[in-house]
Structure 1
Amino acid sequence: MTQGELSAVIDLNEDGEALMPLTAYRPIGTLPFAGRYRLIDFPLSAVTHAGVHSVGLFMPQSARSVQDHIRDGASWNLDLIQGGVFMFPYIATRDYSDPALRQRYYDDYTTFLRRSGSTYTVIIGSSNIASVDLTAVLAYHEAGDAPITLVYKKLPSEDFTPDDWTLTLSEQGTASAILRQKDRHERPSETLPAFMDTYLLATNDLIDLLDVAAGAKTFVTLPELLRDYVLANNANAFEYTGYLARISSMQRFFAASLGMLDDANYQSLMFSAVPVLTKSKNEVPTFFARGAEVSDALLGTGAYVEGEIKHSVISRSVVVHQGAVVENSVIMQGAKISTGSTVRNVILDKGVVIGPNLKLEGKPEAPLVIGKNRSILKMKDLTPQPAG
């Protein structure tokens, strides 16, 4: 591996239960976003921009979509002779009462870290959509006194759910703990520091932390280890001020997707100092038939539109037939809406087919969700799958 200053661990073992059925066959990291991206594109773009040459991907149980999207990492300039993307198998829910399996969990991390030859390591998830400049985070860490640095953003208190992770900040700006919102007991304030699941620390310190955990009698996951490390040592707290969407529920995913129709949001995320990269697909432009009506929409390539689209995000190769209406909806790759049908406040996953003259309607706060490759040819075919 290339002897770089910074390596990256991207942990894709994130809880996707609240995003079912969209996460039935994929992790949160490969959820489609903004017509042509996947959520994992944002942390991968951040590490590429920071000059990271060694990236360890710790795979989820449903790993096929990750492998298909990432491949050799060429889209993020990570197809290197030395360094590159290293994928480690899913081991998150094995029986860790077995010491051998417990050791394997830690060994996968430490093997990657030792071979990376890096001075520092950033650990980042994929459920926060943001454009973080990791070179700035590293500079902030090196200027600070604490052994670990966390990234956060101040958000209005009403934007939090009880299970959201937050930081407790001192008057000096350091973080003393990572707590769920429901566990905070101080006086309510207008804003709270939302923790963005991003840590940066010395690689040797992280290896030592994992080696100690491997010898303990009780199994502790890497996120738990890092939270305990912050509690014991305090942390530098880097404030991120750019666009942020936290994808922890169907409502948040739906709102963030449609939020890309706001030009200020789109410009802030896609045209920041950190370019967003994704896997390229050579497809024809979207075709608009005579009589098609499209307003306030974001469309990927290869779509065919005869009907009406209003305030919606349309992915690649979607077909909207004559007389069909798509409104306030998120339509993923290869979906088809047949003649005369209306979909409103709906999420259609990849490959969904909606038959003719049907009306599918959810609510803005609770979109109707149709899982991957389903065919709804008659209303009796529709088994409601409301947002998680």
Structure 2
Amino acid sequence: MTQGEMAAIIDLNEEDDALRPLTTYRPVGTLPFAGRYRLLDFPLSAVAHAGVHSVALFMPRSARSVQDHVRDGSSWNLDLIQGGVFMFPYMATRDYSDSQLRHRYFDDYTTFLRRSGAPYTVIIGSRNVASVDLAAVLAYHQAGDAPVTVVYKKLAEAEMAPSDWTLTLSEQGTASAVVPTEARREPADADGKVPSFMDTYLLATPDLIDILDAAAENDTFRPLPALLRDYVVANNANAFEYTGYLARITSLQRYFDYSLGMLDEANYQALLFSAVPVLTKSKNEVPTFFARTAKVENSLLGTGSYIEGQINHSVIFRSVVVHQGATVDNSVIMQGGKIANGSKLSNVILDKGVVIGPNLTLAGTPDQPLVIGKNQTILSAADIPQAAATKA
């Protein structure tokens, strides 16, 4: 593929209520995943691998963590003289009955697209964790007849939530609509699977500009995702089937399940060692230290941690301390967590910077993990209900 043939829009204004308290102070895109990554790393790596020169990040309400993580884009080789990463301010919930605000919403998109000079544009979110080869998607689009291409993966119908988006596919393999699972009228295929839509569109940049310009003149405001769904209905779409690993991060339960799913070697290899390398911001840290008393089984650990206790079937991020006599089982412990002597954790998610005092027991269940919000300090059993007000 020719360098700069495609521009990218990564829309970080994604629904996050079902992921609170993990998204109280951060957007979905900067949720930690697999010991050292953020969800945003996966679309950024995909566009970098496809030779995209111009990337627009449409910022969420809480944008600080995005700015801190991405910076100049150098971790993804996007610190370019021409092009690079462009961050646009939060505009998702303004009063768009005001025509000036409505025009400004669309003008941010069209200004970026015109200046990118790319003949094609891909629009992608961050909640679908995958390693999509966007160069292959572009080639598929160019070989097809439809003006837009969408990406999907076949998933078992039982894995789909009612609000998950799916595609309505014709016998010719084109997509005629994007609908929630609860609104589907088509049965699953012979294998019990349905086409799960991955929130990814690819179309010609001039066509996208025309869509946005027309929407700016309409008195009824519709955001970009709704406009693109309408465009699929009006024109049909080429449907590109992705066959790699996919994790849909739309709820605390899914986040917990897919995080621990990284302990399966097949999942880990399929996501992180595919043809699309996954890049992230580098941190120069020492390796994790294991004391003689440490016992670690079937777990994934980031760098910079200090382990004296026992860890089983858990994901441990960077700079975590587990003291002697402490046990962590079937849990996700984010960066900077500290677990004091004698405490026992099972089926727990600790957000960044959580401190657990000595000789405490924190336990959820596999179907309802106990979630402790960011920077909480738990020194007694009485602290636990207040800090863990939200469960999956």
TM-score (norm 2): 0.98
Contact conserved, 1:27 with 1:60, CA < 8 A, in 2?
yes
Counterparts of 2:84 and 2:27, CA distance in 1? 22
Partner in structure 1 of residue 115 of structure 2: 115
Partner in structure 2 of residue 66 of structure 1: 66
The equivalences for 1:66-85 within 5 A come to 66-85=66-85
Partner in structure 2 of residue 387 of structure 1: 391
Counterparts of 2:170 and 2:390, CA distance in 1? 41
- Residue type at the aligned position of 2:381: M
State the shift of 1:387 in Å: 2.8
Give the 3-state SS of the residue equivalent to 1:309 in structure 2.
strand
Give the 3-state SS of the residue equivalent to 2:315 in structure 1.
strand
Counterparts of 2:318 and 2:188, CA distance in 1? 44
Counterparts of 1:253 and 1:128, CA distance in 2? 11
Contact conserved, 1:3 with 1:116, CA < 8 A, in 2?
no
State the shift of 1:185 in Å: 1.8
State the shift of 1:236 in Å: 0.1
Counterparts of 2:186 and 2:212, CA distance in 1? 33
- Residue type at the aligned position of 2:245: Y
Partner in structure 1 of residue 284 of structure 2: 282
Counterparts of 1:188 and 1:263, CA distance in 2? 29
Partner in structure 1 of residue 241 of structure 2: 239
Unmatched tracts of structure 2, length 5 or more: none
Counterparts of 2:185 and 2:239, CA distance in 1? 20
State the shift of 1:291 in Å: 1.2
Partner in structure 2 of residue 149 of structure 1: 149
Q: Does 1:10 align with 2:14?
A: no
Runs of 4+ in 1 over 3 A off after TM superposition: none
CA-to-aligned-CA distance 1:259-294 (integer Å, 9 cap, x gap): 000000000000000000000000000000111100
Give the 3-state SS of the residue equivalent to 2:106 in structure 1.
helix
Counterparts of 1:244 and 1:305, CA distance in 2? 31
Partner in structure 2 of residue 163 of structure 1: 163
- Residue type at the aligned position of 1:194: S
CA-to-aligned-CA distance 1:271-327 (integer Å, 9 cap, x gap): 000000000000000000111100000000000000000000000000000000000
Partner in structure 2 of residue 338 of structure 1: 340
Contact conserved, 1:3 with 1:118, CA < 8 A, in 2?
no
Partner in structure 2 of residue 128 of structure 1: 128
Give the 3-state SS of the residue equivalent to 1:237 in structure 2.
strand
Counterparts of 2:200 and 2:234, CA distance in 1? 18
Partner in structure 2 of residue 272 of structure 1: 274
State the shift of 1:187 in Å: 3.4
Contact conserved, 1:348 with 1:370, CA < 8 A, in 2?
yes
State the shift of 1:132 in Å: 0.1
Instruction: Among all aligned residue pairs of Structure 1 and Structure 2, give the percentage whose two residues are the same amino acid.
Output: 74
The equivalences for 1:31-42 within 5 A come to 31-42=31-42
The equivalences for 1:1-388 within 5 A come to 4-189=4-189, 190-382=192-384, 383=386, 384-388=388-392
Contact conserved, 1:3 with 1:117, CA < 8 A, in 2?
no
Residues 188 and 200 from structure 1, CA distance in 2 versus in 1: closer, same or farther, beyond 3 angstroms?
closer
State the shift of 1:3 in Å: 8.1
Counterparts of 1:129 and 1:355, CA distance in 2? 34
Counterparts of 1:72 and 1:214, CA distance in 2? 30
Unmatched tracts of structure 1, length 5 or more: none
- Residue type at the aligned position of 2:234: A
State the shift of 1:4 in Å: 1.9
CA-to-aligned-CA distance 1:308-355 (integer Å, 9 cap, x gap): 000000000000000000000000000000000011000000000000
Give the 3-state SS of the residue equivalent to 1:8 in structure 2.
strand
Higher mean C-alpha displacement, 2-11 vs 49-58: 2-11
Counterparts of 2:362 and 2:342, CA distance in 1? 12
Aligned residue pairs total 387
CA-to-aligned-CA distance 1:50-86 (integer Å, 9 cap, x gap): 0001000000000000000000000000011110000
Contact conserved, 2:147 with 2:235, CA < 8 A, in 1?
yes
TM-score (norm 1): 0.99
Counterparts of 1:225 and 1:102, CA distance in 2? 14
Give the 3-state SS of the residue equivalent to 1:92 in structure 2.
coil
- Residue type at the aligned position of 2:100: A
Counterparts of 2:213 and 2:344, CA distance in 1? 57
Contact conserved, 1:367 with 1:386, CA < 8 A, in 2?
no
